[in-house]
Structure 1
């Protein structure tokens, strides 16, 4: 019942029956807002008929567009909206419809509007909202307006889209043509871009190969050339290519920079070597001047010896410092050794004199001349060296043979006076402890002197004692407040709890050190007890930390012991071929590890340190020994390369052997410091000489090759300008060919290939010209024998007319070759035994043969003769080459020997024969 009531009283547009709802649509007024909203709801009804009836009453495209955006639009709603916007329904103005189209996002609606719009602007507006390429292709192919088709086609950019457009746009040929043109341009651009990229990749590969190659003199120039080529490329490089280019350029610049640094280092080393040599020379000269000054002086004093020793020590240290980097040459080293030997002689003589000085003094004092002479002789004083004052006195005493009674003042009194001066110096510096001890000693010495010191020395001692007492009082005055301050500081430090153990131990040690530095100044038991109590409290706090420190020191000690054992094992069984560089690395790492393993227990520090020092000394000795062995091996290599330089070998073979020696040099390792650089410079200098000789040989070979090329070029130019005028000039061509063969082999290259092609063409052309000239000369000989042939024809005519067979004499003025002379005799013989038929047949054959030789056209009736002649020529010339001139010479001989010849037959053929001979007699153009 409630459901029935609801159906009876509900609106008809809500009726369950679709037909009722469809009829209810006609009763709704779209002008009313409520009923329009009802129609809009019915436009979304599930039944298609109801939707279609509701949409027929709605003509506002704005509202329908909103319905499409709010819910899933039905096909009827889309079709009705398209009809309204396209202008098929309703009376909406064009600007409003275009504005609505510009808001659309639905591709389907936009495609339909672009195809069905009633105006070109509307279709273009819908097309402007389309972005998918397949939609643009569809519009370009199917749209009914040409402007829309062209606008859509213009926006197709991909190769696939243009290809589809070119095949599917049958409706508009212009669209298809433009699509094909753009497709071709796109492909051409792609091909050009690919070619440019390939060119850039090839250039990058060249640059990378150049970056991984070694330095050479043209390295920087090639890099600049490759960089210019890179800059000339029209396309832009991508990020990867640009990164590769920058990396390769950076590597190239690094190689160039390393080479420049090496060159700079080599020049700097050379300059340092020169400076070192100059410094050494100045040192040797200074020592030599000092030694010469000692020889030229009157007396040798202690100051002279001290100065000489100081100069020698300074010179030796500087000489050794310079020798660590650069060894001296032999001459300078010899001078240095001689100066040192002279120095040693002087020093040893002075030592011997000092050892006997007391004895000499005693002998002088006692007047023992015999003993004095023996002592002076035992000193072995150099003859040229100036004597010392003592030695001069002794020599003077011996020379006078008198006794010297003079004596020195008391030594004790002099020593007492000297120590008084030392006491005064100590008091001036404030050294209380040293001054106090020295004062006690002076008081004791004053009591032990055999007689009292002079009054001046006694007064001086009292005055210095008063100053010492004053210094003692002042120290007490200063030390009292300092002791109070130290007690307060150590008690405050004992109360601090936030300070770390390390800092606490450092500050405690500092305070104890300052307390001890005060000594006994202002000392009392109370302050000492306070200081000791606070110090004990700090020590109790630091006890656990000290235990940890002691454990760590023990671990360090064990690690140091293990390190020493490892190094001792290495030293017990050293490898025979141990590399000094590897041993040096082991030494340096051992030192670094030793420094890290610190501290160690104090009582073990010195023994383990001595053990490690001994090991390092032995390891250094092993390094030095191996370095000396390497130095000897490198000296042997230097001797080998010096022998190689002296041997008579091809430069290339010598350079290859030098490279093998360089590889052996690198595999040896390093010699001792300083000596390695010297050996390397000597070895490298010899290698440079070998490579320089190879480069010189290459330059000579290249120069000879260039000379051969220039001579060949001159020969080509000369033969190109030569145009022979007679056939007997063949000797000139043969001589040129022999000259060209003598210039072989030419260096390979494009220029050589071009010259050979040009030379072959010139030789072929000149050979053809000479053959043509020989043929022309042979053809011109026809005119020379023409009178003889005419005489034979007249004799043949008289014989054929019934006359006797007379012989035609050979004119004496006519110089015939042997072949033609035999042909002349054969013609006379043929007049008696020959037949006219054979002569006529042979004349026809000779005419055809001459026509083939002249390159003329053979008549159709002479085809059998032509074939027979060609076969005969092939058979006769098999295995040998016959020139056209020789062939013509043979034909002229046969023509002269052919008879007897009827006059009418000769008149019939002579015109053709003359024409062919005229062709053959034409001279070739120059």
Structure 2
């Protein structure tokens, strides 16, 4: 009789396998030696061992779905229990038990991961809904509209929850988006109506500007255009395309008028060149009066210059301010000289100046008498106070005498 660790061959050629404390027959191999018979049934064991090993490797690499692991383990359990093979069948059963336990552990992990993913999805969708509800009353239309689109994309990418929870959150999100869209449509509808009103007002301004474009009432029409421009600026903006088209018409009408006015004024300016030369000569004559030494003579001369000035007429527009400014400086100098003379000869002012001088002189005399008496009495403090007062009044007297001198110059 031949034997091995897990099997033996009986004298009648039957091959037995030992599984734990139990021995059971697995078959026979007629015409073969006991060693050959054991080897034959050992190879059948090796085939089972290879299947278990392959399953272990695939489970270790997570190449098999959990439900398939359970089915494979169950199939191999039956195969091992009924195997006509010689080998460590108990060990194979133990390894299959270990695989089942690993599959169960992985199932627990997978369940926990799915629960965690569902919780994360719920938190993400609640965050999306909360932000959407916060944006529902926003008035930053473009930025908020863009953000709603981003939130919708985030919602689509997030995993689904259970139907009830998902539907409730979606209804809140959809309601927030609808509220925002409704407000945005109302806002832009209001803008469209407002722009239509602005367009109508500006069309009226354009028609008025076009009517005035051929006017030859230069001053009156220029003022009218300034008024139209002010109304244009305060009318608001029409739609972008309408605004640009209306402005081009308005500006064209304005340009037509001012081009005609400038052309007319250019012709006039040419005619006024001779007047400018005459007024240049009068300004030189007037400036010859400076500096003013006799305001009466200067006033008579300036009056004569003014009469001739008015008789000459207009000068070119570009020279008007310059030439009139030079004459005005001479007029100001004569006026200043007249006012200075009036101040110098004003009897009331002279009398006040004389009274001030007399008052200060009397005060100084009184203080000098007081100081002398204090000195005689040996009152040093009274002497010092009196002399300080005298010094101050002498300073005031000097200024008062200068003012009085101006009236006697």
How high is the TM-score relative to the length of structure 2? Answer: 0.42
Structure having greater relative contact order (Cα 8 Å, sep ≥ 6): 2
* Between structures 1 and 2, the one with greater strand share: 2
When Rg is computed on C-alpha atoms for both structures, the one with the higher figure is 1
